[in-house]
Amino acid sequence: MNPEYLRFLTECGKQISVATNTILFRYGEPAERFYLIRQGHIKVEVPAIAGPTLELQNLGPGSILGWSWLISPYRWSFQARVTEAAQLIEFDGMRVRSKCEADPRFGYELLKRFATLMSERLRFARERMIEEWNPPGFA
């Protein structure tokens, strides 16, 4: 990525510490940020209509968490729970989205990266749901 874009992203991030069992965001809440996990682990979950939440993925250091800030209606599609105390870089998604609008080249570069992430996470979520719930006729 262009060094100018990397500098901008660095300006949009701040380091935070998050304790074990903290819920970073809940399904349906406004999505205004995203994260880079530096240390610790975060579980991506989907709440069930009845019963416990379903764990979709356990993310560790180097993983990006959150893409709902980029796609309208800007609401979280999943829930994230810290399973091991975490050191994160929290990015201001609204500021980054504004830069995407103002600079289409930057927006396209970022969208390519996040589209790959979204595709991977949605594929994984679908596979996990099939494994866990295994409804008849669902492929």
CB 92 within 8 A of CB 8: no
- Quote the crossing angle between the two packed helices 3-12 and 104-133, to the nearest 10°: 60
pTM: 0.84
Domains recognised in the chain with CATH numbers: 3-133 (2.60.120.10)
What's the rounded Cα separation, in Å, for the pair 139 and 137?
6
Best CA proximity match to 86, nearest among 68, 54, 61: 61
CA 18 to chain centre: 15
> Helices then strands (H, E): number in the chain?
3, 6
- Mind listing the pLDDT tens digit for each residue in 9-65? 999 999 999 999 999 999 999 999 999 999 999 999 988 777 778 888 899 999 999
In whole angstroms, how large is the CA radius of gyration of the chain? 16
Per-residue pLDDT tens for 13-24? 999 999 999 999
Structure tokens at 94: 């609204």
Q: What are phi and psi of 55, to 5 degrees?
A: -75, 125
